[in-house]
Amino acid sequence: MTIQDTDIPRRRAFLSEGLRRYLAAFRTPRGLIGGGLLAIMCLAALLAPVVFPGAVDAQSRDSFLGPSLTHPFGTDELGRDIFIRCIYALRISISLVIVAVPIAMVIGTLMGLAGAISPALGDAFQRLFDIILGFPSLILGICIVVAIGPGWIALAVTIAIFSLPQFGRLARGALLTEEGREYVLAARVLGVGKRKIMTRHILPNAMDPILVQASLAMIGGIFAEAALSIVGLGIQPPTPSLGTLLNVGIRYVYVQPMYTAGPIILLLLLALAFNLISDALNAAVMKTRND
């Protein structure tokens, strides 16, 4: 560590310290429940092929059985176990948001911070965000599905593009407020380079709201998959995803209500888990801000 480094007034210079704050969020009750719930669902999705080998497509003559111990959610029109198909469906929901949201987070943040390098570029990106937000969300999804063709990739692109503006705006907001702060001015006076000011001072301050937003964007992504797949523009049956299950399930809602209720329960559990996590992150971040 050089002398110059210690002399610059700065907040949370070490990544490890920042990380520790975020991890502390998972030790609060909300973070623990949300994180635990998510961990259980991730594990179930990951281990499903090992625990229930081949069961996802295993048909039987027992169609539309009611919920029982062997089939917690009953069976569908082809006698397949709805519970196991729901667990498999988690693989699609979780994989989509785990890939799409972080990509959107990185690109969106960079686009938001672009204003520091070139104001014109920064403004152009903000215009782009306005346009994306101006599109009703599903209409944008429809355009992307037409361009790419329905499937996992189109859904990931839709989720990423739709999450982009929120990250971009948060990053730009942080840039504009932090740029004028005294400690940034002080760093600049001391001759710290533009890049270092960006990575050491502005980015860490922007990260707090962006991470909270990422957790919320995951909820949006999970619901978006369901919406597009329900109408038949997302994942295509017979692949089980929460949306495709609902797409078929709603047709049999009178004979097998669990066909609709099962995926809904998992959708709500996923949303609850991410909501609790974002709450816990938010509380942890606010706490250190106020200290």
Partner 1 sequence: MLTFLARRLPSVALMLVVTALIAFLLPRLGGGDPAQVVAGPDATLAQVEAVREQLGLDRPVLVQFGDWAGRIVTGDFGTSLISNRPVAQLIASRLSSTMELAIAATLLMIVMGLGLGILAGSVRKGGSRAAIDGTLSVLLATPPHVTGLILILILGISWRLLPISGEVSVFDDPVTGLTYLILPAFALALPQAAMIARLIQARMSQVREEDFVDLAKAKGVPPRRIAISHVLRNSLGTAVIVTGVRVGEILAGAVVIEAIFARQGLGTLAVSAIQSRDYEVVQIIVLFAVVIAVVVHFLSEILLAALDPRIRLDS
Q: Which of 65, 116, 187, 246 binds partner 1 (CB under 8 A)?
A: 246
Q: Is 96 in the site for partner 1 (CB under 8 A)?
A: no
Spatial neighbors of 76 by CB under 8 A, at least 6 apart, are 63, 64, 82, 85, 248, 249, 252, 256, 259
Min. distance of Cβ 122 from partner 1 in angstroms?
17
Q: Is 261 in the site for partner 1 (CB under 8 A)?
A: yes
Q: Which of 110, 117, 185, 268 binds partner 1 (CB under 8 A)?
A: 268
Distance CA 2, CA 255 (A): 72
Min. distance of Cβ 233 from partner 1 in angstroms?
6
Cβ proximity to partner 1: between 13 and 261 the closer is 261
Q: Which of 58, 253, 286, 289 binds partner 1 (CB under 8 A)?
A: 253
Question: Where does residue 267 rank: exposed (0-12), middle (13-18), buried (19+ CB within 10 A)?
Answer: buried
Angle at 141 between CA 135 and CA 143, to 5 degrees: 85
CB atoms within 10 A of CB 25: 24
Q: What is the CA radius of gyration of the chain?
A: 23
Of residues 190, 169, 171, the one with CA closest to residue 179: 171
Instruction: Pick the piece of the chain touching partner 1 (CB under 8 A) from 2-10, 57-65, 205-213, 228-236.
Output: 228-236
Distance CA 65, CA 43 (A): 27
Q: Is 162 in the site for partner 1 (CB under 8 A)?
A: no
Q: Is 33 in the site for partner 1 (CB under 8 A)?
A: no
Cβ proximity to partner 1: between 23 and 250 the closer is 250
Min. distance of Cβ 145 from partner 1 in angstroms?
7
User: Which structure tokens are listed for 6?
Assistant: 């210690």
Q: Is 143 in the site for partner 1 (CB under 8 A)?
A: yes
Cβ proximity to partner 1: between 33 and 55 the closer is 33
| φ/ψ bin of 63: left (φ > 0), alpha (ψ from -120 to 50), beta (otherwise) | beta
Cβ proximity to partner 1: between 184 and 245 the closer is 245
Q: Phi, psi at residue 67, to the nearest 5°?
A: -60, 135
Cβ proximity to partner 1: between 116 and 245 the closer is 245
Q: Is 283 in the site for partner 1 (CB under 8 A)?
A: no
Q: Is 127 in the site for partner 1 (CB under 8 A)?
A: yes
Q: Is 226 in the site for partner 1 (CB under 8 A)?
A: yes
Q: Is 232 in the site for partner 1 (CB under 8 A)?
A: yes
Distance CA 116, CA 86 (A): 46
